[in-house]
Amino acid sequence: MSLPTHLTLEIVTPERALAHEEVDEVQLPGTEGYLGILPGHTPLLTSLRVGQVWYRKGTEKFYLSIASGFAEVLPDRVRLLALVAERAEDIDLTRAEAEKRRAEELIQAAKSGNPDIDFDRARISLMKAMIRIQVATKAKIRN
């Protein structure tokens, strides 16, 4: 049996499907670190963490931000079932920067001893905002 030459990439959130494409390579944020996936990859199932996903078609790369979910990798297919995911071009950079500032303020309040602030929740909000900014910035550089 020959190795596949492409991967079918599917990215789905509870709200919508974001991708169903033939791609050459995928990188995703697994809970143990970033995974690079090429056609013929060994099957695996992993949890996703907050991070950046990119995939390549030919020489062109496409970026998404993602937060939580699962990835199924097969030799010819990658399925991402994400709680939250956004294409780079759909991210409102101004809003993401405001979310980052708000999360930083919450973290400072938690460090100052405010018992009403959940530090871990604020930290995750900051990570999401920073990834969204990073992904949106890459889309602007590419265009």
Please tell me the predicted confidence (pLDDT) of residue 116: 83
CATH number of 7-88: 2.60.15.10
Domain boundaries, the chain: 7-88, 92-142
92-142 placed in CATH 3.90.79.10: no
Angstrom distance (rounded) from CA 28 to CA 34:
6
pLDDT at position 1, please?
A: 61
Burial of 15 (0-12, 13-18, 19+ CB in 10 A): exposed
From first to last of its 143 residues, what are the pLDDT tens digits of the chain? 678 899 999 999 999 999 999 999 999 999 999 999 999 999 999 999 999 999 999 999 999 999 999 999 999 999 999 999 999 999 999 999 999 999 999 989 888 888 888 888 899 999 999 999 999 988 765 54
